[in-house]
Amino acid sequence: MTLASLGTTLDADALLPGAHYVPSPNCDQRPPDAVVSLIVIHAISLPPGEFGGDAIERLFTNRLDPTEHPYYQDIQAQALRVSAHFLIRRDGAVTQFVPCNRRAWHAGQSNWRGRECCNDFSIGVELEGC
């Protein structure tokens, strides 16, 4: 599915109809009073500067093999457990990793307009790029 062909509303499970869904374990419940009011857009490529393949999906599902590339060894050494709600590929294909009603782990230590912990109140979108 491409971004242009997706629906504009979420289904009952807080998933975007038509998006490829690959559940990530790197998420948890939002705080009870959290209201989504921010979209955080990131750029990602794995390995850096390379596009395509399934490395991003494997990163977000804790299946990235550190022996495949020296950069992946750094990721393993940091014990990264990260995710995003969505990944938009260079060809427009969309993958969802975390339901929108859950907190994805994408913004780390963060603040926006004086509010700490942006993961609590944001949707994380990864664009395949650098």
- Per-residue model confidence (pLDDT) at position 79: 76
- Per-residue model confidence (pLDDT) at position 75: 84
- DSSP 8-state code for residue 31: P
Partners of 103 in beta bridges:
28
**Regarding the domain delimited by 3-128, which CATH topology (the fold level of the hierarchy) does it fall under?**
Lysozyme-like (3.40.80)
For residue 1, pLDDT over 50 is answered with: no
Listed by start position, the domains of the chain span 3-128
CA-to-CA distance for 40 and 7, rounded, in angstroms?
20
Query: Which residue's entry shows tokens 């419940």?
Result: 29
pLDDT digits (tens, 9 = 90+) for 86-115: 999 999 999 999 999 999 999 989 989 999
Query: Which residue's entry shows tokens 């989504």?
Result: 36
- Overall pTM > 0.75: yes
Partners of 122 in beta bridges:
38
Q: 56 with 82: CB under 8 angstroms?
A: no
Q: 129 with 43: CB under 8 angstroms?
A: yes
Q: Which residues contact 13 (CB under 8 A, 6 or more apart)?
A: 99
Q: 126 with 56: CB under 8 angstroms?
A: yes
57 labelled catalytic: no
Catalytic residue among 68, 116, 126, 128: 126
pLDDT digits (tens, 9 = 90+) for 17-52: 999 999 999 999 999 999 999 999 999 999 999 999
- Per-residue model confidence (pLDDT) at position 9: 87
Own/partner contacts of 58-67, CB < 8 Å, gap of 24 or more, are 60/22, 60/24, 60/26, 60/84, 60/87, 60/97, 61/22, 61/23, 61/24, 61/25, 61/97, 62/25, 62/26
